[in-house]
Amino acid sequence: MNKYTLSNLASHRRFGFFAAATLVVALAGSAFAQEAAKPDPRFHAKDAVKQYNVEKTVAISGYDPVAYFPEGGGKPKEGDKKITFAHNGITYRFASKEHLELFKASPEKYEPAHGGWCTYAMGATGEKVEIDPESYVVANGRLFLFYKDIFTDTRKKFLAEQAKLTAAADTSWKKTSGEEARTPEALAKKDAEKKDGDKATTGDPAKTEPAKTVPAKTEPTKDDGHKNPK
């Protein structure tokens, strides 16, 4: 085997080593990210992509979920295809990076209720009906979307019996997807449980007694017979 061949072989071996190392690091990082963003099964269906109203995994026809809420401007706005975030297999688009960060901090708060299907239809008949992303209601910290065309405006019908239809829609959606309603009360309870779990793991600083300081024993000074010079 000549020097050229040996050199090539060594080069390929080095490349293989670095490629393998890079793959291991990438897989480790990917696994960590998936674990860190693991959705709460109480509020997220296992087969969300099949259950939710999506177009190739994209929710709300590409509209920004945060934009509907007061902190996001309070009106529908299309998201940027370059600013996206995948949560539980569903892709959301955002009009700004600020909206993205708000969503990442609390996905359950901003995700549309009832899988993004028409809330009126879910409450009235239990059916999955398409929506118009411009037809919506934000109430009790939740985003509800509705079907609308030239002849039908389900939003108006929903507002006429809002409490009744919301409760009925929550019940129907739980039967369909297994998801609990993401009410502010339910999410607050979830956060409290998480904090209690963190305290149990790390210990509650408020209940930790301060360490007692034991004074060091002082040895008596011995006279070595030397006098300080004057």
Q: What are the domain boundaries of the chain?
A: 48-194
pLDDT band at residue 37 using 50, 70 and 90 as cut-offs: low
pLDDT digits over 170-201, tens only?
999 999 999 999 998 988 887 787 776 666 66
Tokens 């609990």 belong to residue: 180
| Distance of alpha carbon 25 from alpha carbon 22, whole angstroms | 5
What's the pLDDT at 18? 42
* The pair of three-digit structure tokens given for residue 169, joined into one six-digit string: 């829609």
pTM higher than 0.75 for the full model? no
C-alpha to C-alpha distance for 15 and 103, rounded to whole angstroms: 40
Q: What is the pLDDT of residues 116-130, one digit of tens each?
A: 999 999 999 999 999
Structure-model confidence comparison of residues 73 and 207, the more confident one: 73
Decide if pLDDT at 221 tops 50.
Answer: no
Residue 43 pLDDT: 76
Tokens for 133, please give them. 């992303």
Within the chain, how many helices (H) and strands (E) appear?
A: 8, 6
34 versus 71: the higher-pLDDT residue is 71
Q: Give pLDDT tens digits for 99-119.
A: 999 999 999 999 999 999 999
